[in-house]
Amino acid sequence: MDLEPGTTRLYRCALCGADTPHRIRGRRGNRYAVVCTNCSGGALIGGDDLWLYQVRWEEELREILTQLTDGDTSRDDR
Ligand SMILES: [Zn+2]
């Protein structure tokens, strides 16, 4: 996966302890320098970790959305 500097990725910030978007500031090898958009705290994260976290988060989001859709019967009305 290619992470362009300037884009953001969701990650758990070690400083403010929240899942926040982190802005990619730079890259060295497979390590990314990211900055929390909430507290401006910097972190160095491996590209694999960043990718795994994103995948996990998207899975959780999909689960929540699926649960919401299951309870919604209005979609059968046309
Ligand atoms: Zn933070």
What three-state secondary structure class fits 27? strand
> What's the 14 CA to ligand 1 centre distance in angstroms?
7
Q: Is 1 a residue whose pLDDT tops 60?
A: no
pTM, rounded to two decimals: 0.71
Residue 72's pLDDT is: 63
Q: What is the average per-residue pLDDT within 67-75?
A: 73
Q: What value does the mean pLDDT of the chain take?
A: 88
Nearest Cα to Cα of residue 8 among 48, 38, 61: 38
Q: Between residues 76 and 19, which one has the greater pLDDT?
A: 19
Q: 74 pLDDT band (50/70/90 cuts)?
A: low
Q: 65 pLDDT band (50/70/90 cuts)?
A: very high
Q: 33 pLDDT band (50/70/90 cuts)?
A: very high
> What's the 69 CA to ligand 1 centre distance in angstroms?
32
- For 35, phi and psi rounded to 5 degrees? -125, 130
> What's the 73 CA to ligand 1 centre distance in angstroms?
39
